[in-house]
Amino acid sequence: AVADNTITGNRTENKGGGLYASFALVNGNRIMENAASEGGGIFGESNGTFVGNRITKNTSRTGIGGGVYLNYWGLSKHNKVFSNNHVEQNGASDDKGAGGVCLDGEMDFSRNAIFNNTGLQLKNLTTSSNASLKAKECFWGSMDQIEIDAMIHDGKDDPALSLVEFE
């Protein structure tokens, strides 16, 4: 478990500027001002539980997950949680990139605050053969459904991808 840490000022040419986590519990951390090619703040792979983290001011040089990149491959649907996280002021290399969260795979995605990131707030790379991602009780910086939809890249933008359903 990685809990109650401040992870700041790290740089890598690869994935996970602040933290590269696989099969881990990441809880209550402050992850800020890190940079990487993908997952400037966090690169999460395989199963992982990310709860209650504050992920701010991280950058991705490729435009893929300035704050977070979740690459959840594998058959298990258990222990794939991204919940109660605050993802703000992260950057991507361009406005079409995902400054906030980029994800690929099925997971529990709920109660996150994802706003004020450059480019997209959420980029869903999960294929359309998977179920829709249910982004339950998330805050996007707006209450307007059309504005929120414009902040998310999913099956509405590319039919090869699954949809993101949000409240």
Q: Which helix (H) or strand (E) holds 4?
A: none
pLDDT of 78 reads 64
Q: How confident is the model at residue 106 (pLDDT cuts 50, 70, 90)?
A: confident
Question: Does 74 score more than 70 pLDDT?
Answer: no
* Cα→Cα distances 58→20, 23, 70, Å: 14, 22, 15
Give the Cα separation of 60 and 93 in Å (integer). Answer: 6
pLDDT of 75 reads 47
pLDDT of 167 reads 79
Asked if 40 and 90 count as a contact pair (C-beta separation under 8 A), the reply is: yes
Asked if 32 and 55 count as a contact pair (C-beta separation under 8 A), the reply is: yes
pLDDT of 97 reads 85
What percentage of the chain carries pLDDT values higher than 70?
96
133-148 mean pLDDT: 96
Q: Which of 118-121's residues contact partners 24+ apart within 8 Å by CB, and which partners?
A: 118/66, 118/90, 118/91, 118/92, 119/63, 119/66, 119/92, 119/94, 119/95, 120/92, 120/96, 120/151, 120/152, 120/153, 121/87, 121/151, 121/152
Letter for the amino acid at 90? N
Question: Does 77 score more than 70 pLDDT?
Answer: no
What percentage of the chain carries pLDDT values higher than 90?
82
Kindly report the pTM of this predicted structure: 0.94
Question: Does 76 score more than 70 pLDDT?
Answer: no
4-13 mean pLDDT: 97
Q: Which helix (H) or strand (E) holds 127?
A: none
For the chain, what is the mean pLDDT?
A: 93
pLDDT of 129 reads 92
